[in-house]
Copies of this chain bind each other. A is one copy, B any other.
Amino acid sequence: MADHHINSKAIENYILSNPFKGKPENLYNAMNYIMQLGGKRMRPQLMLLSYLAVKNEVNNSAFNIALALETFHNFSLVHDDIMDNAPIRRGKKTVHEEWDIPTAILVGDNLLIKCYELIMETDFENKIPLMKEFTKMASLVCDGQQLDMNMPFKEFVTEDDYLKMIELKTAVLPACALKMGAMSAGANEVECQLFYDFGLNLGMAFQLQDDYLDAFGLESQIGKQVGGDILENKKTVLFIHALNHLSDSLKEELLNWYDNKSNSEEKIQKVKELFEQADSRNYLLNLKASYEAKALEYLRSITMNQTVKTEFDNLFGFLKSRAN
């Protein structure tokens, strides 16, 4: 339908006007609670833009695929928040806090199932390939989350380990969103793969930006305590790089900080100083920039009209320089 414009407001409206319906009420209220908590709506935006890059107009079926991708993202947030014991999500109580863990488990399960319902309700001819793509992605995201859960128990984590984990946990979803948009609009396989690779590199840059902001962002902008990853002793690129580039004595100091579970502001400051001394902050920014450059190469290799190109550029620019 011609009156669907691709911006986060149109997506927001589509989400609000298509709540999940069913009983018991507490289950469906909780499902719609997390869906309606807001967020960047990046994945549905990417999907709809790649759709528009191939076809002139989006329709309700395209919006349903976009909604399925946002629903999947919310499924993973609800279950991850249980695993991480997270009390707050987007400034509000997490589902397991507002309700309880059993409800939150079922909210996630049912959201995951509703993704398939949404995809099957579309009128696209190639629903099976779309569902195969979605299913492959969904399973990889679970693998990625398990890799993340395994990290604290792994004595030696390499940068490759970490990058593989964020690729699966975070980057395959935007990649899949872009590919599914192109697929459902009827793009050929080569083009679909270009969109996938664009999304994979964009997703990697996105997560590395998250990691950067977690350590060097502003509390007022990121909406949570700066240094959360440091307090949780997360073996991010910053930590791994610093460990490999500090002198033996400073390396010892970093390991000591990561050995204790203190919640102090001092720990955050000292660890950040060590990151700076190892030049890990710049290393991370360069690594992120290299993924952005690759993403942009893929994006540039795809033919599309100027309007969609501009929208992609705007979204890309926003994601690149975002402060939250």
Contact surface of A with B, Cβ cutoff 8 Å: 22-24, 26-27, 79, 82-83, 101-103, 105-106, 108-110, 112-114, 116-117, 120, 127-128, 131-132, 135-136, 138-139, 142-143, 145-147, 149-150
18 additional A-B residue pairs with CB within 8 Å, beyond A26-B146, A27-B146, A114-B139: A22-B143, A23-B143, A79-B106, A82-B101, A82-B105, A102-B149, A103-B146, A105-B105, A106-B146, A106-B149, A108-B109, A109-B109, A109-B112, A110-B139, A116-B135, A120-B135, A127-B128, A128-B128
Across-interface contacts of A23 in B (CB, < 8 A): 143
The 8 closest A-B pairs by CB, nearest first: A83-B102, A27-B146, A110-B142, A113-B138, A102-B149, A113-B139, A116-B135, A106-B146
Q: What is the bound-complex CA distance between A138 and B27, given in angstroms?
A: 14
Is B150 touching A24 in the complex (CB atoms < 8 A)? Answer: yes
A27 touches B114 (CB 8 A): no
Question: CA–CA, A286 to B305, complex, Å?
Answer: 70
B113 near A150 (CB under 8 angstroms)?
A: no
CB distance from A164 to the nearest CB of B (A): 10
Residue of B nearest to A146 (CB): B27
Please, which residue of chain B has its CB at the minimum distance from the CB of A31? B142
How far, in angstroms, from A138 to B120 measured CA to CA in the complex? 14
Closest to A116 in B: B135
* Contact in complex: B109, A132 (CB < 8 Å): no
Which residue from chain B places its CB closest to the CB of A132 in the assembled complex?
B120
- A106 B142 Cβ-Cβ under 8 A: yes
Closest residue of chain B to A114, judged by CB? B139
Nearest CB in chain B: distance from A316 CB, A: 30
Query: By the criterion CB–CB under 8 Å, are B135 and A113 in contact?
Result: yes
> Please, which residues of chain B bring their CB within 8 A of the CB of A113?
112, 135, 138-139, 142
Distance A83 CA – B110 CA, assembled complex (angstroms): 15
| Chain B residues whose C-beta falls within 8 Å of the C-beta of A147 in the assembled complex | 24
A232 to chain B, nearest CB (A): 14
Residues of B within 8 A of A26 (CB): 146, 150
User: Is the CB–CB distance between B106 and A139 below 8 Å?
Assistant: no
A87 and B279 alpha carbons, distance in the complex (Å)? 48
Least CB distance, A144 to chain B, in whole angstroms: 9
**A113-B138, A128-B128, A135-B113 are contacts. A24–B143 as well, Cβ < 8 Å?**
yes
Report how far A145 CA is from B103 CA in the complex, Å.
9
A-B contact pairs, 24 of them (CB 8 A): A22-B139, A22-B143, A23-B143, A27-B142, A27-B143, A79-B106, A82-B101, A82-B105, A83-B102, A83-B106, A102-B149, A103-B149, A105-B105, A105-B108, A106-B146, A109-B112, A109-B142, A110-B139, A114-B139, A116-B116, A117-B136, A117-B139, A120-B131, A127-B128
